[in-house]
């Protein structure tokens, strides 16, 4: 059976999109027919290596047989009931997340922004109980497109003309311990950060910064919110990105990879913080959807049982290959940054046609923060796929180098 529109070519589908959908996205010129493991195929059958993974969503690649089987089984049982009912897939996934993370409770949402909003509410509730109202986050951070998230972000493109934003929210320079010390007062109830910034340009927190944050929490008392929406679920080689440091945040938000391709997010905390939200105070219609949770349980099982190890080993392999390229093209590459399967190539200057040039070589890639090539392979990627990416990368960099 073909889907409606499946027989149309890319050009026809692009015209239809242009006329029917809000023009908010800069799309790649690919109309997708199907996708399998690490590859996307357009409607004409051209194959692309997917090193973006739906922006860190397709942790297990496309069409993973265990996800398909779990989703099919759950769809046949029931798809949606509402949170008026006890649902085994939710409970199973919550237990797996508790085991993988060591946190005591889970709240399910549908997305990263929604998880972050819930964490803002938790921090404010905790603050209300301790006479504190203020929240802090960092330049370059990305937490979603909702008002709570945007109020703790600084990029003008996402905010211009949309104010006013929430009061008592501050955005201070990332990795700047002096600014952090100056900003933390007795009024601060929550500090939110990505321990490895994604959209901001694959920028890891420095150990000194994390240690300062920890010391300030001890001194002043506030909740640390780890936004693990992009870096979490095994992507950095540990279950959460913050585990690369010696710290235990009070609230963890996750989404993206968790649903393995279905919309699913979660907030993780210990009992004390979770109990701030009493019955009826917070909720969502779809959050914890049974089909999404069935997929999520497969993701967490695969990630904890084998993929984290794969990312640990092959993340180093990827990094070594990238460092070789940095040594080969010092005039183009400033720095290689990142952990595991979340790597960035910081370029010396913008390369606006990089993504297009990679597509011509059959590879889907991404540029973030203007001049950082962001590499987010599916966690199932092997040496072969990494090598394929590196060959295309070298080819594009050679072309650019010659043209310079």
Among 49, 229, 268, 277, binds ligand PLP (CB under 6 A): 229
Name the minimum Å distance from CB 253 to ligand PLP.
Answer: 7
Nearer to ligand PLP, 50 or 199 (CB): 199
Region binding ligand PLP by CB under 6 A among candidate stretches 69-77, 140-148, 170-178, 347-355: 140-148
Name the minimum Å distance from CB 64 to ligand PLP.
Answer: 20
- Considering the rule CB under 6 A, would residue 194 count as an interface residue with ligand PLP? yes
Nearer to ligand PLP, 113 or 332 (CB): 113
Residues tagged active-site: 142, 227, 256
Region binding ligand PLP by CB under 6 A among candidate stretches 43-51, 138-146, 237-245, 293-301: 138-146
Number of residues interacting with ligand PLP: please give it, by CB under 6 A: 15
- Considering the rule CB under 6 A, would residue 230 count as an interface residue with ligand PLP? yes
Among 255, 303, 336, 393, binds ligand PLP (CB under 6 A): 255
- Considering the rule CB under 6 A, would residue 262 count as an interface residue with ligand PLP? no
Residues 80-119 binding ligand PLP (CB under 6 A) are: 111-113, 116
Q: In angstroms, how far is CA 142 from the centroid of its own chain?
A: 9
Among 42, 117, 154, 227, binds ligand PLP (CB under 6 A): 227
Name the minimum Å distance from CB 149 to ligand PLP.
Answer: 7
- Considering the rule CB under 6 A, would residue 259 count as an interface residue with ligand PLP? no
- Considering the rule CB under 6 A, would residue 50 count as an interface residue with ligand PLP? no
By CB under 6 A, name the binding residues for ligand PLP. Answer: 55, 111-113, 116, 142-144, 194, 198-199, 227, 229-230, 255
């Amino acid at each position: 059976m073909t889907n409606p529109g499946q027989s149309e070519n890319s050009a026809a589908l692009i015209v239809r999109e242009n006329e029917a959908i809000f023009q908010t996205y800069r799309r790649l010129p690919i109309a997708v027919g199907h996708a399998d493991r690490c590859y996307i195929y357009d409607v004409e059958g051209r194959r692309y290596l997917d090193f973006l993974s739906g922006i860190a969503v397709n942790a297990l690649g496309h069409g993973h047989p265990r996800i398909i089987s779990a989703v099919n089984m759950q769809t046949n049982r029931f798809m949606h009931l509402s949170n008026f009912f006890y649902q085994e897939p939710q409970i199973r996934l919550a237990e797996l997340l508790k085991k993988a993370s060591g946190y005591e409770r889970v709240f399910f949402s549908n997305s990263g922004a929604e998880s972050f909003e819930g964490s803002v509410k938790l921090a404010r509730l905790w603050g209300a109980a301790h006479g504190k109202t203020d929240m802090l986050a960092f330049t370059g951070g990305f937490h979603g497109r909702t008002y709570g998230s945007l109020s703790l972000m600084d990029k003008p493109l996402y905010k211009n003309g949309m104010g006013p934003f929430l009061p008592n929210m501050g955005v201070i320079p990332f990795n700047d311990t002096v600014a952090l010390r100056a900003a933390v007062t007795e009024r601060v109830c929550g500090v939110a950060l990505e321990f490895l910034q994604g959209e901001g340009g694959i920028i890891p927190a420095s150990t000194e910064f994390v240690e300062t944050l920890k010391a300030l929490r001890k001194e002043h008392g506030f909740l640390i919110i780890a936004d693990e929406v992009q870096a979490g679920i095994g992507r950095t080689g540990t279950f959460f990105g913050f585990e690369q440091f010696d710290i235990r945040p009070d609230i963890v938000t996750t989404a993206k990879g968790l649903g393995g391709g279905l919309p699913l997010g979660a907030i993780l905390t210990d009992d004390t913080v979770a109990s701030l939200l009493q019955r009826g105070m917070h909720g969502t219609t779809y959050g914890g959807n049974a089909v999404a949770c069935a997929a999520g349980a497969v993701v967490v099982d695969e990630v904890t049982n084998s993929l984290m190890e794969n990312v640990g080993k092959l993340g180093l392999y990827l990094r070594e290959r990238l460092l070789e390229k940095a040594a080969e093209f010092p005039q183009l590459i400033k720095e290689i940054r990142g952990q595991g399967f979340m790597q960035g190539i910081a370029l010396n200057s913008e390369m606006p046609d990089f993504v297009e040039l990679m597509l011509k070589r059959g590879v889907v890639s991404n540029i973030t923060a203007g001049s950082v090539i962001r590499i987010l392979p599916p966690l199932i990627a092997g040496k072969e796929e990494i090598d394929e990416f590196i060959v295309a990368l070298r080819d594009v960099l050679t072309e650019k180098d010659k043209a310079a």
